[in-house]
């Protein structure tokens, strides 16, 4: 069955690779971003990869009406089966420099837009008597705050709760909602650049390498597929094991348990 997949933030990084993964399955795609030139390039790649049909939409999802417009216009092409909310921003803003505009810019795109897009898709799907599937892109920052990332970490923590809350209410209506929470992934983003010092500081994990967009894309495609049909409200952490604990701490106290006096 050919599905209709909507991917936001599709012009680069995780969004781009996710679109290519769905394209290889022959799905119909609606790719959404604010970067027209890069979006067009990805659309061409998806066509080459095997997508049945590829459409692009240049939208700023920070607008309160844009998420609904996105779903309605995509639905006019064909009913939407899968929504991947990958668009996001990650500004570096020291806490004492925060203001309302900075806060709103992050929360509007990272949290409100996925929530409103999910509402719009749910209403369309229920009215049409169809099932649907949503995969949000969260972050390890939802669990661990970072300097300069108070709005971002808050937005992703809120997105994870929105994922659970929407899954709870929409599950009985045939709509699954899950999230993938990446660890540090090298995406070479012009919208969300990071220094090598920062990357080195946050990318340590038990599996010993940095993530790449395809690590996340594979998880998204799996969650959106039939093999995950009994999973909803789940946050799948794809992070090389970094959320398992602090890898680089020394032993808190070297102990020789062979000594009799150290046994209980």
pLDDT in tens, 100-142: 999 999 999 999 999 999 999 999 999 999 999 999 999 999 9
List for the chain the helix, strand, coil content (%; round to 5): 45, 15, 40
The active-site residue out of 152, 180, 182, 239 is 152
What distances in angstroms separate CA 135 from CA 19, 91, 172, 177, one per listed residue? 13, 23, 17, 6
Distance CA 40, CA 65 (A): 23
Nearest 5°: the CA angle 152, 85, 72 is 130
Helix (H) or strand (E) holding 82: strand 82-85
Token pair of 98, please? 């925060």
> What is the structure's pLDDT at 188?
64
Would you say the pTM of this structure is higher than 0.75? yes
CATH code (residue 20): 3.40.50.720
Phi, psi angles (nearest 5°) of residue 79:
-55, 140
Q: Which of 72-86, 138-152, 198-212 has the lowest mean pLDDT?
A: 198-212
Bridge partner list, 211: 185
CA distance 131 to 224: 12
86: containing domain: 4-262
The helix (H) or strand (E) run that includes residue 88 is none
CB neighbour list of residue 264: distance below 8 Å, 6 or more residues apart: none
**pLDDT tens-digit profile of 38-64?**
999 999 999 999 998 999 999 999 999
Which residues, 6 or more positions from 105, have their beta carbon under 8 angstroms from its beta carbon? 62, 89, 91
Torsion of CA 122, 128, 130, 131, to 10 degrees: 0
Alpha-helix residue ranges (DSSP H) falling in the chain = 13-24, 36-49, 66-77, 100-107, 113-128, 150-170, 196-202, 213-223
pLDDT score of 195 more than 80: no
Tell me whether residue 152 is one of the annotated catalytic residues: yes
**Structural domain count, the chain:** 1
């Amino acid at each position: 069955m050919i599905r209709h997949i909507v991917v936001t933030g599709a012009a680069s990084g995780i969004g781009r690779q996710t679109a290519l993964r769905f394209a290889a399955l022959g799905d119909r795609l609606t790719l959404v971003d604010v970067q027209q030139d890069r979006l067009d390039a990805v659309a061409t790649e998806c066509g080459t990869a095997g997508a049945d049909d590829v459409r692009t939409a240049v939208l700023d999802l920070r607008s309160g009406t844009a998420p609904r417009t996105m779903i309605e216009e995509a639905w006019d092409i064909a009913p939407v089966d899968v929504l991947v909310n990958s668009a996001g921003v990650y500004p570096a803003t020291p806490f004492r420099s925060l203001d309302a505009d900075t806060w709103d810019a992050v929360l509007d795109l990272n949290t409100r837009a996925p929530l409103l897009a999910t509402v719009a898709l749910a209403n369309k799907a229920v009215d049409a008597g169809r099932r649907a599937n949503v995969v949000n892109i969260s972050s390890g920052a939802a669990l661990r705050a970072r300097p300069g990332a108070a709005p971002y970490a808050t937005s992703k923590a809120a997105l994870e709760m929105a994922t659970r809350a929407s899954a709870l209410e929409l599950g009985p209506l045939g709509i699954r909602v899950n999230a993938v929470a990446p660890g540090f992934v090298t995406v070479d983003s012009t919208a969300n650049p990071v220094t090598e010092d920062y990357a080195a500081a946050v990318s340590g994990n038990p599996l010993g390498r940095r993530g790449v967009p395809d690590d996340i894309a594979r998880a998204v495609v799996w969650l959106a597929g039939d093999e995950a049909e009994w999973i909803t409200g789940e946050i799948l952490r794809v992070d090389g094991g970094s959320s398992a604990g602090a890898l680089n701490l020394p032993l808190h106290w070297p102990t020789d348990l062979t000594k009799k006096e150290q046994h209980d």
